[in-house]
């Protein structure tokens, strides 16, 4: 049995930005207050270098520790229940 290896048989990889165009317009159910900080860390991660990342992550996490979402997540984690997030 012969296998075709022509260029037309190979799928073209997705172009940059495909995911953002296909993603739903509403935010995912989860810790919505933490998402912007996580995205900012991911976007700027390479610029600061690996040694700086743990400190930058700690600074970003500090204000999130006082949110209602974080406090509720800790409670349900200790109670072995499924978390729910309000975005606060």
Q: Encode pLDDT of 10-35 as tens digits.
A: 566 555 555 555 555 555 667 788 88
Gyration radius of the chain over CA positions:
20
**Cα distances (Å, whole numbers) of residue 15 to 22, 59, 67, 68:** 12, 34, 37, 38
The reported pTM is: 0.48
CA pair distance 37, 60, nearest whole angstrom: 7
Please state, rounded to an integer, the average pLDDT across all residues of the chain. 74
Task: Supply the pLDDT for residue 79.
Answer: 93
More confidently predicted of 72 and 18? 72
More confidently predicted of 50 and 9? 50
């Amino acid at each position: 049995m012969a296998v075709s290896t022509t260029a037309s048989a190979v799928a073209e990889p997705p172009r940059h930005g495909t995911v953002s165009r296909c993603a739903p317009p509403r935010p995912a159910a989860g810790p919505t207050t933490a998402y912007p900080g996580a995205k900012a860390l991911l976007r700027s991660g390479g610029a600061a270098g690996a040694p700086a990342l743990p400190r930058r992550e700690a600074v970003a996490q500090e204000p999130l520790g006082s949110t209602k979402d974080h406090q509720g997540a800790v409670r349900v984690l200790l109670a072995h229940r499924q978390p729910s997030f309000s975005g606060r």
